[in-house]
Each structure stands twice: as C-alpha cells, then as structure tokens.
Amino acid sequence: FNYSVESTWGYRDVNGTWNGMIGLLDRGEIDIGGTATFMIPQRIGVVDYVQLYTPTG
C-alpha cells in the first residue's frame, strides 16, 4: 500500500493536461483518490464520483 499527498485536487492547463490528484487518476498512476472535491463539468469526463453517506442522529 502506497500513498501520496497532493497539493491540489487537479486543474486542466492550457494544453489539456491535468495536474494534482485528477491528473494522477487520468494518467492511470493511481486507482482511487479520496478528498472532498468540487464536482465540476470538466472533471466529470475524467473521474467517477461517489456520494459520501454519513448517517446522522
């Protein structure tokens, strides 16, 4: 089991290359990422999101 801490969720640059955790996922360098990231249209085509379920009360 290996892990790394990235400094950014991931943004696409002018060349279309992703950085951060999204870039690692897009390039197949990691299989799963965990963070509270914003779901934006550009990322939806690159990664699959799952909903966090936290029971309350």
Q: What is the pLDDT of residues 28-54, one digit of tens each?
A: 998 988 887 778 888 888 888 887 777
Q: What is the pLDDT of residue 56?
A: 77
Q: How confident is the model at residue 4 (pLDDT cuts 50, 70, 90)?
A: confident
- Contacts of residue 41, defined as CB under 8 A and 6 or more positions apart, other chains included, come to none
Kindly list the domain boundaries of the chain, sorted by start residue: 1-57
Q: Which of 5, 2, 35, 42 is nearest to 50 (CA)?
A: 35
According to DSSP, the residues that pair with 18 across neighbouring strands are 12
Q: What is the pLDDT of residue 14?
A: 95
Q: What is the pLDDT of residue 41?
A: 85
Return the structure tokens found at 36.
Answer: 């509270």
Q: Which of 52, 53, 38, 2 is nearest to 22 (CA)?
A: 38
